[in-house]
Amino acid sequence: YYDVPIEKLSIANILNDMFRFLRKYKVYIPSQLSMLAKTIITLEGTARSLDPDFSISSVAQEFIKYYYINKLSVDKILLRAKDNTEEILFDIRSIPKQLKTILRNLENNNIKIQMEDIKFTSLERCITDLATKLSLSLVLASMVIGSSLIISSQNINRNIWIKMMAITGFSISFIIGILLVIKIFRSQYRK
C-alpha cells in the first residue's frame, strides 16, 4: 500500500488484509477495535454505492493531517518534553530531603510500618451465598428424590400417612425451590 495513490486505496481492503494478518498470527485485538473496523468497512461500502468516486482514505487524510499537525508537531513534543523534564527535575531535587528524613527516622527508631487489614468481605459474602444456595439445592434435590421414591412405592395406597408424607415432601420441596429462586434473583439484582 506504500506506493498506491490515495484514490485507489480501499480502507476495506486494508482492514481485511489486517484482519487476515491478525488471524494468521493469532493476534487478538479488543472487540471494540474490531467493531470499529467493521463499521468503517460498512461505511465505505455504503458511501461507494452512493458515490462511486468516494474514498474514505481521502476523507481520513484530512483528519490524519490535523492529528499530525496538532498532536505530533515538533512544538507539541518539545512542550511535553519540557513539562516532563521539569517534573523529573523537581522529583530529583526532593530525593536528598526524602533520604535525609528516612535516615533520621531510622536513627531514632521511628520507622512505622502501616499495614491495612485486607478485608475479604465481598469474597466472604460470595462464598456464604454460594454455600447457602448449594445447601438449599441439595436439600431440595434430596426431598424431591425421597418424595418420588415414596410415591412410587407400592405401599402408598395402604397407608394414608405415607401418602401425606410424600405430599408434604413435595410441598416443602416446592417452597424451598421458590426460596432458592428468590435468593438467586436477589443476588443477581444486587450485582
Interatomic CA distance for residues 148 and 62, integer angstroms? 75
Is residue 93 a part of any domain in this protein? no
Split at pLDDT 50, 70, 90, the class of 119 is: low
CA angle (180, 184, 186) in 5-degree steps: 115
Supply the range of the domain harboring residue 169: 121-190
Is residue 25 a part of any domain in this protein? yes
Mean pLDDT of 125-130: 81
Mean pLDDT of 65-73: 77
Work out the number of other CB atoms within 10 angstroms of the CB of residue 134: 10
Interatomic CA distance for residues 137 and 181, integer angstroms? 10
pLDDT at 102: 86
Is residue 16 a part of any domain in this protein? yes
**Cβ atoms 170, 152 nearer than 8 A:** no
Answer yes or no: is pLDDT of 57 > 80: no
pLDDT at 117: 63
User: Which residue type, as a one-letter code, is found at position 42?
Assistant: T
With a CB cutoff of 8 Å and minimum separation 6, the contacts of 28 are 22
pLDDT at 1: 62
Is residue 114 a part of any domain in this protein? no
Measured CA to CA in angstroms, residue 150 lies from 18, 74, 163, 166 at distances of 66, 86, 8, 6
What grid cell was written down for 5? 495513490
Q: Using only C-alpha atoms, what is the Rg of the chain?
A: 35
Check: pTM over 0.75? Answer yes or no.
Answer: no
Q: What is the mean pLDDT of the chain?
A: 80
Is residue 76 a part of any domain in this protein? no
Is residue 79 a part of any domain in this protein? no
Summarised one tens digit per residue, pLDDT across range 12-40 is 788 888 888 888 998 888 888 888 888 88
| Lowest model confidence (mean pLDDT) among 75-84, 104-113, 146-155 | 146-155
143 CB-contact burial (10 Å; exposed 0-12 / middle 13-18 / buried 19+): buried
Answer yes or no: is pLDDT of 191 > 70: no
Is residue 99 a part of any domain in this protein? no
Is residue 95 a part of any domain in this protein? no
Number of domains, the chain:
2
pLDDT at 134: 83
Answer yes or no: is pLDDT of 44 > 70: yes
